[in-house]
Structure formats: structure tokens, C-alpha cells
């Protein structure tokens, strides 16, 4: 079905969910000019058509000018290579994950050391002694058993 330029303008404004006034403002023209085009009282000039296509690049120029094809261009799937920002972000996220695992290991080691510290038994201090020696009875037993085996 063939349409007139005024019908195409009316359809475009409706598809953009605008009214004549908001559409006119978006392309820098007067609402009176758009109303005359939509009502079929005048035809759009080159400047107006160019401004519509610049402001709305997804509008199919063949459809707007001649009524051929679809109102909007088909969106192309674009394969985008990762930007430097994305590459750096992924690198830092990976490094943060590694550091979190390392921190988790360190926390585990500290918790074991704290448990072992709770098992320490101080040797009674002699008045002349300048140092306190701690024994780890559980560890000593394990080492003796391992040496005997």
C-alpha cells in the first residue's frame, strides 16, 4: 500500500510515541511546520528531511522519502572487541579473586596458629631465667610417632 509523505510523517511521529510539538522540538523545527506536513498542506524540504534522518538515524531513509521498506532500519548485530577498559577490568577482577583466595588461606593458617597457641604450656620460670620456653606437647608426640614409624 502506497502512502504519502504526510502519512509517513504521521506514522513516524506515532511510532516514536511523540506528538507534533515534541517531534518538532526534537528536530529544531516549528510545530506549525510539522502540522502542515502531517495535514498534507505542505511537503517537507530537504533541510527538514535531513534533520529527521540525523536526529533519528534508525529511521529508514527509503521509507521516509519513497515509502519503500520498513519504517526503521534493521539493527545489525555488531561484534565488539573488548575495549582496553574491559580488558583491564577483567584483569583486575581476576587479580582480586586470586588475592581473596590468598587471604582466605592466610586466615585459615592464623586460625590454626591461634588454636596451637591455646595449647601452649609455659615452663615455670626460675628467678634467674631470662627466657620463657613454650612446649607444644601435641606436636612433640606427632614428631616422635613419625620418627618411630
Cβ(67)–Cβ(8) below 8 Å: yes
Alpha helix (H) residue ranges in 1-149 = 5-15, 20-27, 31-38, 46-55, 61-66, 84-118, 137-148
Give per-residue pLDDT as tens, 87-123.
778 888 888 999 998 998 889 888 888 887 777 666 6
**High-pLDDT (> 70) share of the chain, %:** 74
Q: The whole model's pTM is what? A: 0.50
Strand-pairing partners, residue 121, are 135
DSSP 82: P
Alpha helix (H) residue ranges in 16-83 = 20-27, 31-38, 46-55, 61-66
Cβ(54)–Cβ(14) below 8 Å: no
pLDDT value, residue 114 = 81
Q: How confident is the model at residue 127 (pLDDT cuts 50, 70, 90)?
A: low
pLDDT value, residue 141 = 53
Amino acid at each position: 500500500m502506497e502512502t504519502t509523505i504526510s502519512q509517513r510523517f504521521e506514522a513516524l511521529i506515532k511510532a516514536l510515541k511523540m506528538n507534533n510539538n515534541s517531534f518538532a522540538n526534537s528536530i529544531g523545527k516549528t510545530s506549525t511546520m510539522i502540522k502542515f506536513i502531517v495535514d498534507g498542506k505542505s511537503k517537507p524540504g530537504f533541510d527538514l528531511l535531513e534533520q529527521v534522518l540525523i536526529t533519528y538515524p534508525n529511521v529508514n531513509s527509503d521509507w521516509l522519502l519513497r515509502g519503500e521498506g520498513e519504517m526503521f532500519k534493521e539493527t545489525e548485530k555488531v561484534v565488539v572487541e573488548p575495549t582496553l577498559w574491559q580488558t583491564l577490568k577483567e584483569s583486575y577482577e581476576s587479580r582480586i579473586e586470586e588475592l581473596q583466595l590468598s587471604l582466605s588461606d592466610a586466615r585459615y593458617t592464623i586460625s590454626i596458629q591461634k588454636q596451637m597457641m591455646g595449647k601452649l604450656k609455659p615452663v615455670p620460670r626460675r628467678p634467674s631465667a631470662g627466657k620463657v620456653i613454650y612446649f607444644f606437647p601435641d606436636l612433640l608426640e606427632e614428631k616422635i610417632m613419625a620418627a618411630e614409624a
